[in-house]
């Protein structure tokens, strides 16, 4: 079976964000990029599935040439092939979804994994969009995944609980933390990944459905009040919460 895993190259979560001079994107200077954390779970699940049922795993990433670093990490973990959908444009979510779906279709993949959310734009809807475009089943936010023949049993986290879902291939699964423990790349894997050729394809879709007017920093909060340094400050804190903030 052909399995696709979609991966994104994102600023490390410890990054301080500054706005670039265009007022529409972040300043990339001194920003450390990493594999989107949730995509690591997606890679692991794709590899585990391949180990169980056979086939091959193809990683796809859409973005600039630097996204190859993330693809190479996937190759080092054991992914068979990698494709960069190259664009320097800032595409909106639906435009990205269309480009990914087109590539998944041309790869003829029946099963697609990706992180439940990319920690840059935090939309958490890419899997759902891709599934809708392809007409595939979707399990978003999965914390467990079992494939038997064409049948999928998965669990996903919802607000205040979890759901067990029965569905079938073809499907898109988006990975939540807890799905698995991502493996480390072996030295052999890292060496092998260096030699692999990452296929590059230019993204044709350039129509955006959403325009960014401006990007800005959130308003800074006024400094708060240190009420005290020990338990004796508790009555005053409770008074402030009741009378000033009126939140309890």
Q: Which of residues 168-227 bind other proteins (CB under 8 A)?
A: 168, 176-178, 208-218, 221, 223-227
Computed on alpha carbons and rounded to an integer, the radius of gyration of the chain in Å comes to: 21
CB count within 10 Å of CB 105 equals 12
CB of 200 to other proteins, least distance (A): 27
Give dist(CA 1, CA 203) in Å, integer: 26
CB of 241 to other proteins, least distance (A): 7
Task: Select from 157, 189, 190, 201 the one that contacts other proteins (CB under 8 A).
Answer: 157
CB of 54 to other proteins, least distance (A): 25
User: Burial letters for 11-49: b for 16+ Cβ neighbours within 10 Å, e otherwise?
Assistant: beeebeeeeeeeeeeeeeeeeebbbbbbbbbbbbbbbbb
CB of 20 to other proteins, least distance (A): 10
CB of 34 to other proteins, least distance (A): 11
Q: Which is nearer to other proteins, 80 or 92 (CB)?
A: 92
SS3 sequence of 104-144? HHHHCCCEEEEECCCCCCCCCCHHHHHHHHHCCEEEEEEEE
Residues 23-62 within binding reach of other proteins (CB under 8 A): 24, 26, 37-38
Residues 64-103 within binding reach of other proteins (CB under 8 A): 92-94, 97
Q: Which is nearer to other proteins, 107 or 208 (CB)?
A: 208
Q: Evaluate whether 162 touches 120 at the Cβ level (below 8 Å).
A: no
Residues 104-143 within binding reach of other proteins (CB under 8 A): 119-125, 128-129, 132-133, 137-141
Q: Evaluate whether 13 touches 32 at the Cβ level (below 8 Å).
A: no
């Amino acid at each position: 079976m052909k399995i696709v895993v979609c991966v994104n190259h994102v600023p490390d979560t410890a990054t301080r964000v500054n706005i670039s001079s265009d007022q529409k994107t972040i300043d990339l200077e001194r920003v450390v990029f990493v594999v989107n954390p949730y995509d690591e779970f997606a890679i692991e699940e794709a590899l585990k599935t391949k180990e169980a049922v056979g086939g091959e795993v193809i990683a796809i990433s859409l973005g600039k040439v630097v996204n190859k670093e993330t693809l190479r990490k996937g190759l080092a973990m054991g992914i068979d092939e990698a494709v960069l959908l190259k664009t320097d444009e800032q595409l909106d979510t639906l435009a990205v979804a269309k480009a990914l779906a087109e590539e998944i279709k041309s790869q003829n993949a029946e099963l697609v994994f990706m992180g439940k959310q990319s920690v840059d734009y935090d939309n958490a809807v890419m899997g759902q969009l891709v599934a809708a475009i392809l007409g595939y089943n979707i399990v978003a936010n999965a914390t467990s995944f079992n494939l038997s023949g064409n049948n999928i049993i998965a669990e996903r986290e919802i607000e205040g609980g979890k759901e067990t879902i029965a569905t079938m291939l073809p499907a898109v699964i988006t990975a939540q933390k807890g799905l698995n423990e991502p493996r480390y790349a072996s030295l052999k894997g890292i060496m092998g990944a260096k030699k692999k050729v990452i296929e590059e394809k230019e993204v044709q879709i350039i129509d955006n459905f959403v325009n960014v007017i401006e990007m800005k920093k959130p308003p800074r909060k006024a400094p708060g009040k240190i009420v005290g340094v020990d338990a004796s400050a508790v009555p005053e804190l409770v008074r402030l919460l009741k009378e000033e903030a009126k939140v309890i």
